[in-house]
């Protein structure tokens, strides 16, 4: 018999051999997956349960496959047929087995998000609904939010005419997909919950079958998921939940961190079993993480520790702006590569996906391969490709690829049949799709008029304003503003204008055509494949569950990280702090924290104070880092001990200087700009000004020809 328990530490052993229901509070890097898998193997090996008599719930198919692979390496068992999978996967299995009792056809279909949206649109069309007032995506979101809360249309409270109509459309949608024998993703869980709620015989059957239910990432469960688990747990069975309330970062997806305390109350669990020994990071990193997360209220409470050593101090760098921040990252990544750290062992984390653009550009310029984990590189993102296609058509309407990408995006009633006819006509005449569309009549007339308007509207505008004009007037910005979870895409579209400004500041050729060529090059080169030695770029949300030798946490500024949206949410700041905790604990050996005095975001220069999370890390764990560059680094601004959000102050300089950093000034050639920094002394003093239309410029102060705006 394999000795499964000999290598476990005392806390892991207590968790694996817990005699009844238990909540395991598993800190980052503490061996959570090992504990969960070993418990399954131990239960089977000691004949407490058969492989078919337990259920293990994960949040991803990848995690489920990893669990089964580990299990077969521990025990000589056949895992085929075991109930191990995601909530949606297991609910699908339950409903397929009992489709009659669930009121579903045997071969019911599952609608993905796109299919569901199409179904919503058909319902609204049948009801003659004005989709300007009731956007199909918002109706879809309303339906899903209520299903995920366990509410059918007849249980949803309507408080005004608008919400009463939404409830009506929800009911009509449910009736339609029921007639068609289909279910959406939210319906899988709700239908499975309803099935067990009303069918006592079936419920008792599964309660008797599954004597042990094990749940991974319990802090990410929603209210309905927890209620479903409670239905499955019988009076003689145990529920073994593993999670970490300090890593609950998915409230926007419905995760309810309160389920952990609720579980303890419901099952009379006196205290959680805590896994606090970390096998990943050095002490300095864990001490910083513990200090930050200790500010959150209502935690179940734990402090991570390790015996792998103290490690190097955390390195903190304050940049003058986001471009200097990106250059610093490049220099340190290259230095660590020379010191033996592979690129793939280094990760750059950011709170907002739009931040990746300046970092990608700096890596591209330095010929450093990189990969955007859990997402696409900036110039490969769908919304950016759409915007570039509109820009290409404004510059060169004969581009057939650009034409096909956006002729019906956002939707304007041009279907596949109409495009096929247009293509046939264009081929027969030997002309471009654009030329054929110009003579194709009223179906394509609105699109032709739009492109002509864009083309005429950008004449004479600086490059950045050309991009802003096309993004706004094409309809893309409005489309993504109205889309569920479209905030990131809107930020990326705004960042495209910043990319144009940066290109204009660095290039002799500031034409739209040159910028489009530059975008194509950045999209097509240095695209590292999975597993290739490349720097890993990702949002903090995407980083959960991963680890790297070196981690750079960027953009640590008030309003960015913590995000400004956190102010409007009850648990917002605490969830942002949990995000910071997750980010810190991704690092094994070295951690960098960076921020900028000013940053170009959403087409505007923003002056942000350092993130309060920086102030929450003890000073003895951090050392400031000088940037070895041709221009001297700015004097670091002391990190204030901040407890709450404050208005973002403009950085201040000595009163003897003619303009404060942040002041608006006018230049006779470049127009209005903002003072960014000074360097040098006396007659050699230089001033840096950022002009929205042309980018950064340095002047010898004496000859700068600047005047204060309003003077």
> Looking at the annotation, which residues are catalytic?
32-33, 216-217, 247, 586
The DSSP secondary structure of 362-382, one letter per residue, reads HHHHTT--EEETTS--GGGSH
Could you please report the per-residue DSSP string of 610-646?
BPHHHHTS-GGGEEE----SSSPPPPPPP----SS--
End-to-end CA distance of the chain: 86
Distance of alpha carbon 591 from alpha carbon 583, whole angstroms: 10
> In the 3-class helix/strand/coil scheme, how is 254-319 assigned residue by residue?
CCCCCHHHHHHHHCCCCCCEEECECCCCCHHHHHHHHHHHCCCCCCCCCCCECCCCCCCCEEEEEE
Under 8 Å between Cβ of 594 and 332: no
Residue carrying structure tokens 């078919």: 52
- Say what angle helices 223-232 and 259-266 make with each other, to 10 degrees: 20
Residue 289: CB atoms within 10 Å? 27
Kindly give, in sequence order, each residue whose CB lies less than 8 Å from that of residue 696, ignoring residues fewer than 6 positions away. 321, 323, 505, 676, 688, 689, 690
Q: Which of 356, 361, 268, 396 is nearest to 543 (CA)?
A: 356
Q: Going by DSSP bridges, is the β-strand pair 535-539/370-372 parallel, antiparallel, or unpaired?
A: parallel
Residue 216 tokens, joined: 């991974």
What does the alpha-carbon distance between residue 543 and residue 565 come to, in Å, rounded to a whole number?
21
Q: How far apart are CA 4 and CA 23, in angstroms?
A: 21
């Amino acid at each position: 018999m394999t000795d499964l328990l000999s290598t476990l530490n005392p806390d892991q052993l207590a968790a694996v051999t817990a005699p009844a229901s238990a909540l395991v509070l598993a800190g980052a890097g503490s061996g959570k997956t090992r504990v969960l898998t070993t418990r399954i193997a131990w239960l089977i090996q000691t004949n407490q349960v058969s492989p078919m008599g337990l259920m293990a719930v994960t949040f991803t198919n990848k995690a489920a496959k990893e669990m089964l692979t580990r299990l077969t390496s521990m025990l000589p068992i056949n895992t085929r047929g075991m109930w191990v999978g995601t909530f949606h996967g297991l609910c699908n299995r339950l409903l397929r087995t009992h489709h009659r009792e669930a009121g579903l056809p045997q071969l019911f279909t599952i609608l993905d998000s796109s299919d569901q949206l199409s179904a919503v649109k058909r319902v609204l069309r049948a009801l003659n609904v004005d989709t300007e007032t009731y956007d199909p995506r918002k109706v879809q979101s309303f339906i899903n939010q209520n299903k995920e809360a366990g509410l059918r249309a007849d249980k949803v409270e309507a408080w005004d005419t608008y919400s009463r109509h939404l409830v009506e459309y929800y009911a009509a949608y449910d009736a339609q997909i029921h007639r068609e024998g289909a279910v959406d993703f939210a319906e899988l869980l709700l239908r499975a919950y309803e099935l067990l709620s009303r069918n006592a015989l079936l419920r008792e059957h599964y309660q008797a079958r599954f004597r042990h239910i094990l749940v991974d990432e319990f802090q990410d469960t929603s209210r309905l998921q927890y209620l479903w688990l409670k239905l499955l747990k019988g009076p003689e069975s145990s529920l073994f939940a593993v999670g970490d309330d300090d890593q609950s970062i998915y409230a926007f997806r419905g995760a309810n961190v309160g389920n952990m305390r609720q579980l303890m109350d419901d099952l009379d669990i006196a205290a959680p079993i805590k896994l606090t020994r970390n096998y990943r990071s050095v002490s300095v990193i864990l001490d910083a993480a513990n200090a930050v997360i200790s500010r959150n209220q209502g935690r179940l409470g734990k402090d991570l520790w390790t015996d792998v050593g103290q490690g190097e101090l955390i390195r903190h760098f304050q940049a003058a702006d986001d471009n200097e921040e990106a250059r610093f990252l490049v220099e340190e990544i290259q230095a660590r590569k020379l010191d033996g750290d592979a690129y793939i062992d280094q990760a750059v984390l950011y709170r907002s996906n739009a931040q990746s653009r300046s970092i990608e550009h700096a890596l591209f310029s330095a010929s450093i391969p990189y990969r955007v984990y859990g997402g696409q590189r900036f110039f490969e993102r769908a919304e950016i490709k759409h915007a570039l296609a509109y820009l290409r058509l404004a510059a060169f309407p004969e581009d057939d690829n650009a034409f096909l990408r956006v002729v019906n995006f956002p939707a304007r009633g041009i279907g596949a049949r109409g495009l096929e006819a247009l293509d046939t006509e264009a081929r027969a005449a030997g002309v471009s799709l654009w030329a054929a569309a110009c003579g194709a009549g009223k179906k394509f007339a609105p699109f032709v008029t739009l492109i002509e308007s864009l083309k005429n509207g950008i004449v004479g505008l600086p490059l950045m304003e050309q991009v802003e004009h096309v993004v706004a007037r094409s309809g893309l910005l409005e489309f993504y503003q109205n889309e569920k979870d479209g905030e990131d895409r809107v930020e990326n579209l705004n960042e495209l204008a910043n990319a144009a400004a940066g290109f204009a500041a660095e290039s002799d050729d500031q034409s739209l055509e040159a910028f489009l060529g530059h975008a194509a090059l950045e999209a097509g080169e240095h695209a590292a494949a999975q597993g290739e030695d490349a720097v890993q770029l990702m949002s903090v949300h995407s980083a959960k569950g991963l680890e790297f030798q070196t981690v750079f946490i960027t953009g640590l500024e008030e309003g960015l990280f913590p995000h400004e949206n956190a102010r409007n949410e009850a648990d917002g700041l605490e969830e942002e702090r949990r995000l910071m905790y997750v980010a810190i604990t991704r690092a094994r050996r070295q951690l960098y924290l960076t921020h900028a005095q000013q940053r170009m975001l959403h087409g505007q220069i923003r002056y942000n104070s350092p993130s309060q999370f920086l102030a929450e890390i003890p000073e003895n764990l951090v050392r400031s880092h000088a940037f070895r560059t041709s221009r001297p680094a700015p004097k670091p601004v002391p990190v204030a001990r901040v407890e709450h959000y404050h208005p973002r102050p403009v950085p201040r300089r000595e009163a003897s200087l003619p303009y404060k950093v942040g002041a608006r000034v006018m230049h006779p050639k470049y127009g209005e700009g903002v003072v960014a920094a000074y360097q040098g002394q006396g007659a050699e003093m230089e001033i840096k000004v950022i002009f929205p239309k042309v980018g950064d410029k340095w002047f010898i102060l004496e000859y700068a020809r600047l005047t204060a705006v309003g003077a």
